[in-house]
Homo-oligomer: A and B are copies of this chain.
Amino acid sequence: MTSIEARLDKIESRVEIEELVSKYAQAFDRHDRDMLRSVWFEDSVLNLGPNFGAPFEGVEGIMAAAEKLWAKTPKMHHWMANSIVVIDDDTAKAETALDCFVIDSDDGPTQVGGLYTDHLERRQGVWKIKLREFELHYWAPLNNWSAVAGTDAVTVKA
């Protein structure tokens, strides 16, 4: 590649990576199975951390886990922000902050915050997420908040 092509390729890669981050969020919020499936390779892994169970292995494992997550938490709203993306040829790392509001079948309306770390690869010219890890910062049911509550009103799980 010429220098111009290499620079263009890097920017295009970044756009593709940001779209993957957006699609994960929109797919979960809209229960869009095709969109969710499109962001993974066959051998990708989604590790949401100990609060959400063992890592989900392979795209079929991830899709099965999504069905369980939707059953427990039927309404989700993810807002991704602050992406830091480092691209090295055909691999990349992206760190993106999460602001999230869900309606959980056990806890009711709940604010969730955390950080996603994605390890991405480009195979046959297409970027996808190879490994997504999530660090939960808080899971805060709104029903725990009241005029007399202190900082303990927010359950910080991690």
Chain A residues near B (Cβ < 8 Å): 4-5, 7-8, 11-12, 14-15, 19, 21-23, 25-26, 29-30, 75, 77-85, 95, 97, 99, 101, 103, 108-109, 111, 113, 115, 137-138, 140, 142-151, 153-154, 156
Contact = CB atoms under 8 A, between A and B. Distances in A.
Contacts of A138: 75
B147 A149 contact: yes
Contact of A25 (B19, B75, B97, B144): B97
Which DSSP category, helix, strand, loop or mixed, fits chain A's interface? mixed
A26 B95 contact: yes
Contacts of A149: 108, 142-143, 147
